[in-house]
Amino acid sequence: MSYFCYILECADGTFYTGWSTDPQRRTRRHNSGQGARYTRARRPVRLVYVEAQPDRSTAMKREHCIKRLSRMAKKNLIAQNPGIDNQYSQISD
């Protein structure tokens, strides 16, 4: 089984970080109101960053590390854009 750490951009411009075995499915659940409480009030959300991890434990640890990053550091991480096919290098404050 594959595990991923992901970042969503919420409608209000904030970022939400999580982990999942299927980030696209998880994004759909966030958008349907079945995701985290944080994203329910900030829909729609958009998947902007995905990072594969070797196991669940590593994915959870990476999620914790990303959550501790500053907004600017998250924007820089997203600009590297691994695994996402979009143009997201220009993120506004």
Q: Please give the share of the chain, as a percent, with pLDDT higher than 90.
A: 84
Is the pLDDT at 88 greater than 50? The verdict is no
- Each domain of the chain, given as residue ranges in start order, spans 3-80
For residue 83, what pLDDT band results from cuts at 50, 70 and 90?
Answer: low
Radius of gyration of the chain (CA): 12
Is the pLDDT at 70 greater than 80? The verdict is yes
Q: Which of 21, 34, 35 is nearest to 8 (CA)?
A: 35
Place domain 3-80 in its CATH homologous superfamily. Answer: GIY-YIG endonuclease (3.40.1440.10)
Evaluate if pTM is beyond 0.75.
yes
For residue 81, what pLDDT band results from cuts at 50, 70 and 90?
Answer: confident
Instruction: Compute the mean pLDDT over every residue in the chain, rounded to the nearest whole number.
Output: 89
What span, in angstroms and rounded, lies between the C-alpha atoms of 75 and 6? 13
